[in-house]
């Protein structure tokens, strides 16, 4: 049996990168159905095709995860169609151009917090309600190495990713005796469209970052996704409140 055998799963930020890799791995590992959640319709359709092309079952849902009504409707839809929600990987996120702390615009701060932190809170809120009602489930949130150490020139990203670890621990503690596990993955620099875009906008930062990365290379989306799928599985049944760093050993703590 696969790690996700018979599970109903949702993955946000699944139109590409780590989210797409996760949707494919959940499908490979026997998920009953994978909900591919994103605002990128074309990328979402490609992810669904990748899952179904290998024999899995998947559906795309266009959802802005910063919109609580849309998030609540998503969870209600999944339950109406599948009867339950077993696993959720809250992975949607953005990055930004590096710059001085004192030059950071409030609009940029607000958007970063909304997408990278508030959306995780909103997804967890409605996932937890459903999982408690059905008697259990597993949630994984995407933080970052920047949830542990500061990302140079990105104070708003650093704050949001530290916040993700905080609400992960809070939920894990509160729901510990209700059959719900909540964990986080903390990817290092991973070869995704988001990181490539950030590198393109900040070539000097990119050069300096790669120079200190293990082996001088980026991680692969599948390496992070494998960890997230494992954390959702029964194999991790005694694991909750964990911040799992997946970065080749770059951040030692």
Q: Which two tokens stand for residue 153?
A: 């020139």
Residues 6+ apart with CB under 8 A from 39: 15, 62, 63, 64
pLDDT, residue 199, reads 74
Choosing from 157, 175, 198, 199, which is the catalytic residue? 157
- Do the domain assignments include residue 247? no
Based on the structure, what is the number of domains in the chain? 1
33 with 49: CB under 8 angstroms? no
Take residue 129 and report the two structure tokens written for it.
């309600």
Answer yes or no: is 55 within a domain: yes
Instruction: Please give the pLDDT value at position 215.
Output: 75
117 inside domain: yes
**What pLDDT, on a 0 to 100 scale, did the predictor assign at position 125?**
98
In a domain, 33, yes or no: yes
Residues 176-204, buried b or exposed e (16+ Cβ, 10 A)?
A: eeeebbbbbbbbbbbbbeebeebbeebee
Q: What is the pLDDT along the chain (253 residues), one digit of tens a residue?
A: 899 999 999 999 999 999 999 999 999 999 999 999 999 999 999 999 999 999 999 999 999 999 999 999 999 999 999 999 999 999 999 988 889 999 999 999 999 999 999 999 999 999 999 999 999 999 999 999 999 999 889 999 999 999 999 999 999 999 999 999 999 999 987 777 777 777 777 787 778 777 777 777 778 899 999 999 999 999 999 999 999 999 877 776 6
User: Tell me, what's the pLDDT at 253?
Assistant: 64
> For residue 160, is it within any domain?
yes
Q: State which residues form the domain around 106.
A: 8-239
Q: What is the pLDDT of residue 178?
A: 97
pTM value is 0.93
pLDDT (0 to 100) of residue 200: 76
Tokens of 234: 């029964």
Residue 2 lies in a domain: no
Report if residue 250 sits inside a domain. no
In this prediction, residue 213 carries a pLDDT of 74
35 is catalytic: no
Residues 6+ apart with CB under 8 A from 54: 24, 27, 28
CATH code at position 26: 3.40.50.720
Residue 215 resides in a domain: yes
């Amino acid at each position: 049996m696969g790690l996700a055998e018979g599970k109903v799963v949702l993955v946000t930020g699944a139109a590409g990168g780590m989210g797409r890799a996760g949707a494919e791995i959940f499908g490979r590992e026997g998920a009953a159905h994978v909900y591919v959640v994103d605002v990128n319709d074309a990328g979402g359709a490609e992810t669904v095709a990748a899952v179904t092309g290998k024999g899995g079952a998947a559906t795309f849902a266009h959802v802005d995860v910063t919109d609580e009504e849309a998030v609540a409707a998503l969870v209600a839809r999944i339950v109406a169609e599948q009867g339950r929600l077993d696993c959720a990987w809250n992975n949607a996120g953005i990055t930004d151009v590096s710059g001085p702390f004192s030059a950071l615009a409030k609009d940029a701060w607000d958007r970063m917090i909304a997408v990278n932190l508030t959306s995780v809170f909103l997804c967890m809120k409605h996932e937890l309600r459903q999982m408690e009602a059905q008697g259990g489930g597993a949630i994984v949130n995407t933080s970052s190495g920047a949830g542990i150490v500061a990302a140079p020139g990105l104070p708003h990203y650093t704050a949001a990713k530290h916040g993700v670890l905080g609400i992960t621990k809070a939920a894990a503690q509160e729901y510990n005796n209700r059959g719900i596990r909540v964990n986080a993955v903390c990817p290092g620099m991973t070869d995704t469209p988001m990181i490539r875009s950030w590198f393109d906008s900040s070539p000097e930062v990119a050069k300096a970052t790669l120079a200190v990365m293990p082996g001088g290379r980026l991680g692969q989306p599948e390496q992070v996704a494998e960890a997230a799928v494992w954390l959702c599985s029964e194999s991790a049944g005694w694991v909750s409140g964990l911040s799992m760093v997946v970065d080749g050993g770059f951040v030692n703590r």
